[in-house]
């Protein structure tokens, strides 16, 4: 989704629309990579069952940066499991790249709150891990080793870690570990990146630095991103569109297109229009939690 505008920074604005209208707008510029249609998901059985999602529908265009926000327990992480093929829906359909999802999706890269780096492997070796486990790269890991290494080195350099290739995770700060984890999730050039609160455990300055790292990688490579976050500032700063989920069972109850030019800078976060967007989303989540703002 192209969200560039020709106006000045102070003219940043937000458009609030219904989810289905946003989906149509996304399709107008790029075919959807993700289509969720009437999905429900239940955990457990009988009287121990929990309905996590109900009548959940959403489309994300190819190349779009989408953010998912909502109250705790609303099914944000469950949504990522459905898209990645780690869970099957109880009802409805999940389609990624025109294929019905019934098994783990090969075109996906994933990053989480915990960097989960292997402590016995160097930064470079951690980043190269997908080439050992993801097909078709796994079949060619020996013949393509030099190419894979070159790609990993270039990616680490692009996030400021050119001098950390031989360091181990214990020798890295939390922010550096998350940079390595991002590189690992992208080194095999997935079409779709799923990120689940990857910066929430970091201090404010490091978190904001990594926002710009992720924004820069997305601008360079134009993969599709779905970000799950509780941080509304993060959602507005990074996303082309923000989708608010209801309390459990989760479904999309509100969507906003974020019309701020790119690249976005820290100065944008202090503009009145930016603050209005965050406040609007906060009020929607408050309503979803049954609170009156």
Query: Which pLDDT belongs to residue 290?
Result: 74
- 284 and 269 in a single domain? The answer is yes
Mean pLDDT (whole number) for 94-109? 93
Q: What CATH number should be reported for the domain holding residue 32?
A: 3.40.50.300
For residues 83 and 102, what is the distance between their CA atoms, to the nearest angstrom? 10
Containing 40, the helix (H) or strand (E) segment is: strand 32-43
Which residues, in sequence order, are CB contacts of 217 under 8 Å at separation 6+? Answer: 158, 159, 182, 186
Task: Please say which residue of 173, 190, 207 terminates a domain.
Answer: 190
More confident residue, 8 or 63: 63
Query: Which pLDDT belongs to residue 9?
Result: 37
Containing 254, the helix (H) or strand (E) segment is: strand 252-259
- 34 and 11 in a single domain? The answer is yes
Task: Please say which residue of 159, 190, 221 terminates a domain.
Answer: 190
Cis check for the bond before 74: say yes or no (omega within 30 of 0). no
Span of 40-49, 118-127, 217-226, 245-254 with lowest mean pLDDT: 40-49
Contact status, residue 39 vs residue 56, Cβ threshold 8 Å = yes
Place of tokens 């869970």: 87
The phi, psi pair for 121, rounded to 5°, reads -115, 145
Which residues, in sequence order, are CB contacts of 8 under 8 Å at separation 6+? Answer: none
Q: pLDDT grade, residue 22 (50/70/90)?
A: very low
More confident residue, 143 or 86: 86
Which residues, in sequence order, are CB contacts of 265 under 8 Å at separation 6+? Answer: none
- 163 and 290 in a single domain? The answer is no
Mean pLDDT (whole number) for 228-245? 96
- 144 and 186 in a single domain? The answer is yes
Tokens coding 87: 């869970």
Query: Which pLDDT belongs to residue 59?
Result: 96
For residues 85 and 275, what is the distance between their CA atoms, to the nearest angstrom? 36
Angle of helix 145-158 versus helix 174-186 axis, rounded to 10: 140
- 26 and 125 in a single domain? The answer is no
Query: In DSSP terms, which residues pair with 196 in a beta bridge?
Result: 112, 228
Which pTM was predicted?
A: 0.85
pLDDT in tens, 242-261: 999 999 999 999 999 998 99
Contact status, residue 258 vs residue 277, Cβ threshold 8 Å = yes
Mean pLDDT (whole number) for 147-160? 93
- 95 and 214 in a single domain? The answer is yes
pLDDT in tens, 44-101: 877 678 999 999 999 999 999 999 999 988 999 999 999 999 999 999 999 999 999 9
Which residues, in sequence order, are CB contacts of 40 under 8 Å at separation 6+? Answer: 51, 53, 54, 55, 56, 89, 90, 91, 92, 249
183: DSSP letter: H
Mean pLDDT (whole number) for 100-107? 92
Starting from the edge strand earliest in sequence, which strands make up the sheet with 192-196, in order?
Answer: 13-17, 252-259, 241-245, 65-69, 224-228, 192-196, 108-112
- 146 and 101 in a single domain? The answer is no
- 289 and 213 in a single domain? The answer is yes
- Percentage with pLDDT > 70 across the chain: 85
Query: Which pLDDT belongs to residue 30?
Result: 65
As for how many domains the chain has, the answer is 2
Query: Which pLDDT belongs to residue 139?
Result: 63
Nearest to 226 by CA among 37, 80, 35: 80
Q: pLDDT grade, residue 230 (50/70/90)?
A: very high
Mean pLDDT (whole number) for 239-243? 97
- 186 and 198 in a single domain? The answer is no
- 233 and 186 in a single domain? The answer is no
Contact status, residue 262 vs residue 237, Cβ threshold 8 Å = no
Query: Which pLDDT belongs to residue 251?
Result: 94
Q: pLDDT grade, residue 8 (50/70/90)?
A: very low
Task: Please say which residue of 134, 167, 190 terminates a domain.
Answer: 190
Containing 206, the helix (H) or strand (E) segment is: helix 204-221
- 200 and 58 in a single domain? The answer is yes
Query: In DSSP terms, which residues pair with 242 in a beta bridge?
Result: 67, 256
Residue 143 is part of which domain span? 115-190
- Percentage with pLDDT > 90 across the chain: 69
Tokens coding 189: 């050039």
- 20 and 101 in a single domain? The answer is yes
């Amino acid at each position: 989704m192209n969200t560039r505008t020709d106006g000045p920074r102070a003219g940043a604005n937000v458009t609030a629309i219904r989810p289905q209208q946003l989906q149509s707008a996304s399709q107008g510029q790029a075919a959807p990579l993700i289509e969720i249609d009437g999905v429900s998901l239940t955990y457990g059985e009988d009287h121990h069952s929990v309905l996590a999602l109900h009548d959940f529908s959403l489309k994300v265009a190819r190349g779009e940066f989408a953010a998912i926000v909502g109250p705790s327990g609303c099914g944000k992480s469950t949504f990522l499991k459905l898209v990645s093929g780690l869970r099957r829906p109880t009802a409805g359909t999940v389609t990624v790249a025109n294929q019905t999802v019934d098994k783990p999706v090969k075109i996906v890269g994933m990053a989480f709150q915990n960097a989960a780096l292997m402590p016995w492997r160097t930064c470079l070796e951690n980043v190269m891990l997908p080439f050992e486990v993801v097909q078709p790269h796994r079949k060619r890991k020996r013949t393509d080793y030099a190419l894979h290494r070159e790609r990993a080195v270039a990616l680490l350099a692009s996030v400021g870690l050119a001098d950390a290739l031989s360091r181990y995770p214990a020798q890295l700060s939390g922010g550096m570990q998350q940079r390595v984890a991002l590189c690992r999730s992208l080194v095999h050039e997935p079409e779709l990146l799923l990120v689940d609160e990857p910066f929430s455990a970091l201090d404010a300055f490091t978190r904001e630095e990594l926002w710009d790292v992720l924004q820069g990688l997305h601008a360079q490579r134009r993969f599709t991103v779905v970000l799950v976050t509780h941080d509304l500032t993060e959602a507005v700063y990074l996303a082309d569109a923000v989708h608010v989920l209801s309390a459990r069972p989760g479904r999309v109850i509100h969507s906003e297109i974020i019309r701020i030019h790119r690249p976005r800078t820290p100065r944008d976060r202090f503009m009145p229009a930016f603050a209005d967007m965050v406040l609007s989303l906060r009020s929607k989540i408050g309503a979803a939690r049954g609170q009156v703002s």
